[in-house]
Structure 1
């Protein structure tokens, strides 16, 4: 079922649909350095298969090499580069597809840098992990990150339909009319009801690999022999058969990659909105999915300072205590600590005064033109005689700013107040 051309790709219209920049480049046989980032079963390897087929076309000075970071090492990459340099003498460029590239650590990823930089190889990496965290910044700056979305139920259904056509199966509507597959002269091996196939597309959570694996197991378990087909006719694939196929894949609820960030993000936003019920749900769901309780606790500490802040300073104390309690207890005992803390934070009064003031301060630093202003002399440390002679700490006193007569902001920023414009919520 792997696609061999761009038109065969199902879904991902935003990244590779008609009129997109990447599709236009690939249609002109130009392959950019890119990192394909998306959940399992969304089409990363399938896209690499399309590029591979493109490289095999005649009069195309491209060669395709596929490696997986789960099995390959630095020596394998060096061997590919060595051959690529020889091929470059004959004006053939090497496209290296590195699956699961996040399995290489940051030091190993440095191996790609000089060869991507000088064009010895064109790198296509595939990852389920957030590239901002799992990939080297220097490598990211040389590649375009292509975000592939989870496939919709309609996309998965279309893929399953194509699979049935290749397996000589018949799709049956509930009303009675049927739609046969490509070769209508042959008796279909199997009959599948459209509603059952739709259920499979809906339950696979956008993972085409899971859907195809479940369908394959189901079809193989029911596929009749030639004699049975002649004597009894095509087999009927029921919803129960498909459900058993899903169970045997053991992948239906396999969450990975970006999903745990999304779940905990939903928890944080529920706390911010004061929805204690939703905060409890997302916290419990994160733990139910096998999330690290310390990661959840750290996000609760962050929420206590970012969203509650000075409106209830004790919230930060309790969140830190929850983190320490999780370190001491571990799972499953610490689950109630996290649930209680999430609900407590959701119900607490909110203030983003400090958080927004910090953001304005950060923005001021980022947008500053020229060198940043120096620390005023009266605020500088003066541990040596020379520094004192230069005026360091001269005139400093410990009184309140309203009584000391001193300014504690840099020169030119005396009237800047990062707390203006925002008040507690």
Structure 2
């Protein structure tokens, strides 16, 4: 049948058209300004466009709305682009300045300095299984970034995968391990960086064991917690623990100096001024201000870089050099590392106790104040002061124990912030008091005697036993008389 003789209804306007013209007409109905000079193309009849097809009603867009849309599309992009040219980057500065090579890595000389074992291995292209242990901002993630770049330089040999235990489950790790096994067949080794590995419990950490032992995968874990407590002992024996310390102020200054160059900021030395601010940069900062930022960051590079980025983004000095006074108002409080349930919690309380034992009142007051400012429970500090009064002072000054117990009771009654002076007074008194470890040493020897006793422990002699009844008293007297007869 000739398709030109067949007609069908338009589903939009309900008018009849031949099959050869229905498609072009439908386009005109939908787009009102559709050009009329389109080439005619013959199409095979569509099975859905039948005479018995139900009619559809569409709400047509008014010509006014259509013209408005067209005008919006014709807006010159050059009018909008300048609005975003000076928009600050939303990427954290710590991420922007992550080192790419070992030469760009500042700090941790005890681990990555020249002639160290780890640096020598990495320079040879050998990546061992290791657990990076250190406080936040000390360079664990930065070291993983350096290793990642090493793997990218040799993609046929290494494949680097980054995961975080806070957002990754065992299933995702298993998928990576499965792919790593297949990669090993082609001589390609997978290096997995697991950040916050302590978030996996010891049972979940078992998933790494077999792959690490067989050499199917290299594991690099990062944690802020003591690996001896939170890492599976079997996994710990297969990895090297790399201890990373807080960064020194000089290292932080070098990091901030490189970050300023990344942000296109001039660094001005006020003691030896040379030159004028670069007009292309428009922003400058004094070297003393960078030094101040490094000093208040408590060895945390991430905090230091975040403060610098905040200062630069919110500076509107129009050529004025940023100095220390300009940024002190915005950054007043020193960042202090403290975890009431972590490693630093025990480190600082131990420092307070040893300062009292060493008769150093200034150090005892400092560490006590560090805990108070960091939000430690005052009752916990008071309990340790009671222990120090008995363990380190003892009978040399019995009043020390009485003062420590009174301090603990006062902390329970007052609470913070009123209890802070009680803790300070007690810490100073205990540090100045005479020391005697007689009771503690004697107790330790008594425990040793009991522990090393062979056979049964000796029975309590009858004459010093408790005798609440007449029979027991008589029994004790009879044994005493028998002993006297034997002796005579």
Normalised TM-score (structure 2): 0.64
Q: Is the 8 A contact 1:222 1:235 kept in 2?
A: no
* Number of positions where the alignment pairs a residue of Structure 1 with one of Structure 2: 366
- Whether contact under 8 Å (2:298, 2:334) holds in the other structure is no
Task: Determine whether 1:13 maps to 2:109.
Answer: yes
Equivalent in the alignment of 1:193: 286
1:214/1:245 contact within 8 Å kept: no
Q: Which residue of 1 aligns with 2:41?
A: none
Match of 1:279 in 2: 364
Give the deviation of 1:165 after TM superposition: 1.9
Give distance in 1, aligned partners of 2:308 and 2:175.
39
Q: Do structure 1's residue 239 and structure 2's residue 318 form an aligned pair?
A: no
Structure-to-structure mapping, 1:292-307, within 5 angstroms:
292-307=377-392
1:388 aligned residue = none
- In the TM superposition, what is the alpha-carbon distance from 1:305 to its structure 2 partner? 4.7
Alignment counterpart, residue 54 of structure 1, candidates 150, 161, 176: 150
**57-66 vs 21-30, greater mean Cα deviation:** 57-66
Tell me which residue corresponds to 1:178.
274
Aligned ranges for residues 28-67 of structure 1 at < 5 Å?
A: 28-58=124-154, 60-67=156-163
**Which of 62, 69, 81 is the equivalent residue of 2:165?**
69
- Residues of 1 paired with 2:169 and 2:276: CA distance? 47
- Who wins on radius of gyration, i.e. which is larger? 2
SS in 2 for 1:95: strand
Q: In the alignment, is the contact (CA less than 8 A) between 2:296 and 2:334 conserved in 1?
A: no
Distance 1:310 1:114 in 2: 57
RMSD (CA atoms) = 3.7
* Counterpart contact for 2:298–2:337, Cα < 8 Å: no
**Cα distance, 1:336–1:127 mapped onto 2, change above 3 Å:** same
Contact preservation (8 Å) 1:33, 1:124: yes
Q: Indicate the SS of the match to 1:76.
A: helix
Which stretch has the larger CA shift, 134-143 or 149-158? Answer: 134-143
Query: What SS is found at the alignment partner of 2:203?
Result: helix
**Is contact 1:322–1:341 with CA below 8 Å preserved after alignment?**
yes
1:145 aligned counterpart, secondary structure: strand
CA contact (8 A) 1:191 1:235 kept: yes
Q: 1:302 to 1:95 in 2, by over 3 A?
A: farther
Q: Deviations over 1:83-116 (max 9, x none)?
A: 2223233332222212122233333334333333
Alignment of 1:69-88 (within 5 A): 69-88=165-184
Cα distance in 2, alignment partners of residues 271 and 265 from structure 1: 10
The answer to whether 1:375 aligns with 2:375 is: no
Matches within 5 A, 1:199-238: 199-222=292-315, 234=319, 236-238=321-323
**Structure 2 residue 260 is matched with structure 1 residue 164:** yes
Is contact 2:337–2:344 with CA below 8 Å preserved after alignment?
A: no
Q: How does 1:244-259 map to 2 (within 5 A)?
A: 244=329, 246=331, 252-253=335-336, 255-256=338-339, 258-259=343-344
Q: With CA pairs under 8 Å and 6+ residues apart, which has the higher RCO, 1 or 2?
A: 1
Identify if the C-alpha distance between structure 1 residues 7 and 121 changes in structure 2 by more than 3 Å, giving closer, same or farther: same
Deviation at 1:281, TM superposition (A): 3.8
1:349 paired residue number: 434
Cα distance in structure 2, aligned partners of 1:373 and 1:259: 35
Indicate how the Cα distance of structure 1 residues 139 and 317 shifts in structure 2: closer, same or farther if over 3 A, else same: farther
Instruction: Give the gaps of 5 or more residues in structure 1.
Output: 225-231, 365-371, 381-392, 401-425
Distance (Å, rounded) in 2 between the aligned partners of 1:253 and 1:200: 14
Q: Which residues of structure 2 form unaligned runs of 5+? A: 1-96, 465-488
Q: 1:202 to 1:70 in 2, by over 3 A?
A: same
Q: Is 354-363 or 152-161 further displaced after alignment?
A: 354-363
CA positional deviation for 1:355: 4.8
For 1:134 and 1:320, the matched residues in 2 are separated by 34
C-alpha distance in 2 between matches for 1:317 and 1:140 = 45
